Structure 1
Amino acid sequence: MDRILAAAKVIATARRSRAPLKALAKDVVPRDEAEGYLVQRALHDLLRSQVGSLVGYKIGCTSTVMQQYLDIPHPCGGGIFEKVVHDSGVRLPHGDYVHVGVECEIAVRLARNLTAGDAPFTAEWVAGAIEAYHPAIEIVDDRYVKWETLGAPTLVADDFFAAGCVLGPAVPRITAPDLLGVTGRAVINGEEVSRGTGADVLGHPHNALAWLANHLAAEGRGLHAGQIVLTGSLVKTIWLKAGDAVVMELDGLGKVEATFT
């Protein structure tokens, strides 16, 4: 476990100083994704004083476009923390990030726990645990010297680019549209730059949530009532310049806005 903590400390130092992370030394780099998740949990403990408590998760690589972009053929998870969950309309300093990007997401808020003992989970099962959906901007940060060379285990260890989120108003599950047909549009400075649908997220965002619940259950952990889960981007990551105004519009779920000053 000394290797795990050593890797977490290197990543935490880079996160705090906003210094681009280089490849980890051979004696501490996580050997596989399972080890990457152990480093991630140690990292969360180290960062708590800075970013607050864990309030949910993001799921990356849930769409074909993102799996091809990152060259990782399966989902990956990361943490979302109390102090980096923002309300729509927020203005965030562009300089608070190494290289900030945004993604268009459907977020879910859970009404009840999904405990490890109840696994395996299906999309139908987890759907019943959802209280509401939110239109969401996932904030991602390319905080790496060259992410393409780091490998999935190190990216997982560092929360898989996660840097927070912006949430629009909640839409109760019972009044929400069928997510399969929801089109999401990414609008930057008033111009639509990309779009996708709920079906692009592992066939349905509930499939992504079931993947996360099963992934956590395999580690003996669960999801909890009130937690937020970002189910995966409907579009390829959009990298921002200072001053960019971001709007994500999701049919039937509303819109969410943020400006990176």
Structure 2
Amino acid sequence: MGSQPTPRCIIVRHGQTEWSKSGQYTGLTDLPLTEFGVGQMRRTGQAIFGYKFIDPSHITYIFTSPRKRARQTVDLVLETVPAQLKKNIRIVVDEDIREWEYGDYEGLLTSEIVSLRKSRGLDQECPWNIWRDGCENGETTQEVGLRLSRAIARVQNLHRKHQEEGIPSDIMVFAHGHALRYFAALWFKMGVEVPCDGKDPIPATYNDPTVPYVPLTTFRHLIDNPNFLLDAGGIGVLSYSHHSIEEPALTLAGSFVCPPEEESQHGDVKLA
């Protein structure tokens, strides 16, 4: 196992849109990238692959939100990847990693949401917290937590399989600001764990026979702000401690590409 890099989940927020620039909440509204956002993500792709921060031959899957801004970002980031390598990357469109559905708050600024809720007599005891309170006529935090827990279970199951087969496996997830910060928090088990209680039927959220559905008996959801930042076009790296899929962790610092002999300080790798 020490001869192979530990699997990673690389999260990428889509590039700039008009609403990400203005701060408007963008859930189901299907906006394209701005001209700046297009150039932003082209430069990102050139940097991460040109400097081998990510080896494209190690990418096994890309999961993307169905929204135009996420799928456009995938295409732009992969532009410099050679065709013979790109054809080996399976791209899976997955509804489970779409952005939070904001309901009545779609297109509003945070200040406008706070004023709207105040006019409706809400938040008299404590300020609005989307991670706890969700959105009126949109998704609750429990609903977002369930679908992102499903997505994480599938990614980690693929990582486990690839690790057993000795295959380097970087899986990239292209999505949105709230969804990816939530995803990262659940990756290393923030929030609370609750039973599914029959809430987890097999969902038709993606269509790829090579990605096994992983049934859940429990899932996690947040009850407070994880206090993560991820700007438009931002990238984060999630991985595992001690080379163990059972120990998901956040890569906070250090070199973006860590050779296996350096990883050994975190595990039980026997070096010759």
Tell me the TM-score normalised to structure 2 length: 0.30
Larger radius of gyration: 2
More strand by share: 1
Tell me the TM-score normalised to structure 1 length: 0.31
